[in-house]
Every structure is written in structure tokens, then in C-alpha cells.
Amino acid sequence: MTKILNIISDTNIGGAGHATINYLKAMDKREFSAAVVLPQGSLLKPKIDELGIETIEIDAMADKSFDRVAIAILEGIISMQSPDIVHTHGSLSGRIAAKNCGKAVVFTRHSAFPFPARIRYSPLRFIFKYLYEKFSDRIIAISPAGADILKSIGVSSAKIDVMLNGCEPLSRANDLRCEELRESLGISEGDFVLGIIARIEDYKGHLGILEAMGILKARGKNPKLIIAGTGSFEDTVRERARELGLCENVIFTGFVTDVALYMSILDAQLNASYISEASSVSIAEGLSLGVCCIASDCSGNPYMVSEGKSGLLFPPRDAAALAERILQLMEDEGLHSALCSGARREYEERFTLENYAHTIENIYRKALAEKEV
């Protein structure tokens, strides 16, 4: 039995947390066992406890990649747990502690934010390259774009494994629940419904979506747009919706827990990120329900959405192009139907939890084999 000790410093449930939970759900328990180290009070703990996986809380590293105090604490836990592999999710402290204990280290970089020019084009790149390579045996990038970002600071491609996120398939809500939700949101029968389920942050591109909605409204088209989520940019997005006269077209729901229900009433999901999008779990969840996606051709998106098969792509921050893509789906029922059918096929072929877990476990096997050489 190969024992994996996961270390994650998040107190909230973000992309790294979802990815960790998804793997633990699909882990091959005949070959692997797992435990997870978390900061005290992390919202991940009850979710992981539900899976029957051991959690270990420490009073350190909360939302910090590097916490000097955490290193000694983590070394003690690693020595006590004696894992075969330490898998860290953004925690430099965890990687240092694991290396100090002589363990094989797998590190997932869940972000696809590019390194700023002050790092890429200065001696700082050598420091970052050293930290990544010295304290990791295998580095997982969650899209080919993420791998390119690591290579931009000189990280060896021989150390990098590319893995797209997977998810459990969502179950479509029944007709009655869908009708009740549409009624509560003021959506009428026959309305074309778009949705973005994401944190409301500038780089997620909500303002560009609103501009596209304004273009469509000026052309006499009135699709409904559901914005589900919260974030630091929410007030700005709400104000822009008012300025564009879209109050009757745009519906803000706040954070939603029943993602499947909201996805069930969408005709298309939107993703308009223009800086960073690694491999969106939200896109994968929509595909699992047969909801096609219109996504920006940014970072990991073109690796998640196949143009003309499971969705449509548009240039980042190009509201006019996004409006045209939406109009295509609204006016061509055959195209819309084909893309929705293709979405489900794309999920089954590429984004199931089983595929996701199998990829991670192959990386674990590779890390152990390299450690033995």
C-alpha cells in the first residue's frame, strides 16, 4: 500500500481544495491510502472527513505558501505518518519539510497565473526555478498552458507532468425544480439562458460578458444571464450592469451550493477569463450535464473546450466576438444541439474522476520509481 500525505494550506474551498477532494473520492484504495494536513479551521476538513480520510490540523500555514513556523510542525507530522509520497498543493513549507525528511515530493501548481516580467526577465527567475526544482520530484501543471508558464522561468520540462482537472458528473435536476428556479429568477419560457459560475474577480471577465450582453440588447436580442458567485469585484460588476441597462437581463444569485440545479437551466455556460484559467472544474461540470460552453481562448480554456465540438471559443476581452458567438447559438438550434451532445461526450472521454485519479496515480508511481533510481 502506497501512503500519500497531502498538504494544503487553504482555509477556504478553492480550486486546489476541489481538486484534492475529487482525487480522494476516486482514489484506488487497493493501492493507495491518504491523509491530509490542513490549517486549523479550514472549510475543507468536514468535506474530507465525510470521505473517511484522516485529517490533521495544525495551527500554522493558513493561506500561506511559506510559513517558517509550519516547517518544523510538518516535519514532525511527516516523521510520524511516514508516507511514501508527500503531495503539496501550493505549500512551499510542505515541500521543504518533506525534502528535509527524505520523502518523494509531488507538487501541484493549481494556478495558471503567469510570472510577472520582473521575475521572468531578472535573476529572480533562477531563485524560483531553484525552489521549484530543488523541493519537488514531480511538478503537476493542470493544463499545457500551466506547463508553459513553469518553463518560462526555466523549470525543466523533464520534471513537469500535465494533468487536466476532472470532476464527478452532475445530475440534471428534474423539470419541477428547474421550473421553480426559473420562476424564482424571473426567467420566462423561451428565454435563452447563459450563466457564469465563478468568483467575481476582474480577471474572470465579467465586465466583458456584460459588454457582450449590451451589444446583443442593442440588436434586439435579450438572453438572460445568471452570474453565480461572489468576490471582490462584485460591486463593480453590479454597477456596470446598471449602467448598461441590463437589470432585467442579468441575475445575480450570490454563492450557490446546488451547482447542478443552476447548470440544469442553462443553455450555455460562459467563461471569459483573460489572464488565468488553468483547467476549469466549472467547465467540466457543465460538460458532464451536456451544457456547451462559450469560453475565451485563454490559458487552459482551449484545452477544456473543443471548438465546434463541445463549445465555441472567442478572443479574450473581445466583447463583440463573444456577442457573435452567443448569437450563433441563439439562432442556430442545430449547432446548439450538436454542441450540447458533444459536451457530454467530451466529459466522458476526458474529464471523468476515474481518468483524473488514474493520471495522478501514474505520476505517483513515476515519482516513486525515480526516487528508487
Kindly state whether residues 7 and 114 are assigned to the same domain: yes
Beta-bridge partners for 109: 141
Same domain membership, residue 97 and residue 139: yes
Question: Within this chain, do residues 10 and 158 fall inside the same structural domain, yes or no?
Answer: yes
Question: In this structure, are 327 and 358 located in the same domain?
Answer: no
Grid coordinates of 320: 463583440
Q: Are residues 340 and 248 in the same domain?
A: yes
Chain mean position to CA 192:
26
Phi, psi of 255 (to 5 degrees): -70, 135
Question: pLDDT grade, residue 253 (50/70/90)?
Answer: very high
Same domain, 79 and 193: no
How many domains does the chain contain in total? Answer: 2
- Are residues 183 and 159 both part of a single domain? no
Domain extent, residue 43, equals 2-166+353-372
Please give the mean pLDDT across all residues of the chain. 95
Dump pLDDT digits (tens) for 74-107. 999 999 999 999 999 989 999 999 999 999 999 9
Whether the Cβ atoms of residue 89 and residue 16 lie closer than 8 Å to each other: yes
The rounded distance, in Å, linking the Cα atoms of 320 and 298 is: 16
Average confidence (pLDDT) over 232-257: 96
Using the 8-state DSSP alphabet, how is residue 122 labeled?
S
Claim to verify: residue 199 and residue 320 sit in the same structural domain: yes
pLDDT at 6 (0 to 100)? 98
| pLDDT for the residue 315 | 97
Give φ, ψ of 269 to 5 degrees. -95, 145
Query: Within this chain, do residues 256 and 130 fall inside the same structural domain, yes or no?
Result: no
Query: For 254-281, what is each residue's pLDDT tens digit?
Result: 999 899 999 999 999 999 999 878 889 8
| Spatial separation of the C-alpha atoms in residues 351 and 45, rounded to whole Å | 25
Q: What order do you get walking across the sheet with 85-89 strand by strand? A: 54-58, 32-39, 2-8, 85-89, 104-109, 138-141, 160-162
Same domain, 236 and 319: yes
- 202: DSSP letter: G
Q: Convert the pLDDT of each residue in 141-159 to its tens digit.
A: 999 999 999 999 999 999 9
Q: Does the pLDDT of residue 373 top 80, yes or no? A: no
Q: What is the CATH number of the domain that holds 259?
A: 3.40.50.2000
**Please, which pLDDT band fits residue 21 given cuts at 50, 70 and 90?**
very high
Distance CA 120, CA 218 (A): 43
Residue-wise pLDDT tens digits, 290-348: 999 999 999 889 999 999 999 999 999 999 999 999 999 999 999 999 999 999 999 99
Do 202 and 292 reside in the same domain of the chain?
yes
Same domain, 368 and 219: no
Answer whether residue 18 shows pLDDT above 90.
no
Map 331-366 to HEC letters.
HCHHHHHHHHHHHHHHHHHHCEHHHHHHHHHHHHHH
3-state DSSP call for residue 126? helix
Q: How confident is the model at residue 372 (pLDDT cuts 50, 70, 90)?
A: confident
Which residues are CB-neighbours of 8 under 8 A, at least 6 positions away?
16, 17, 20, 36, 37, 38, 42, 44, 88, 89, 90, 91
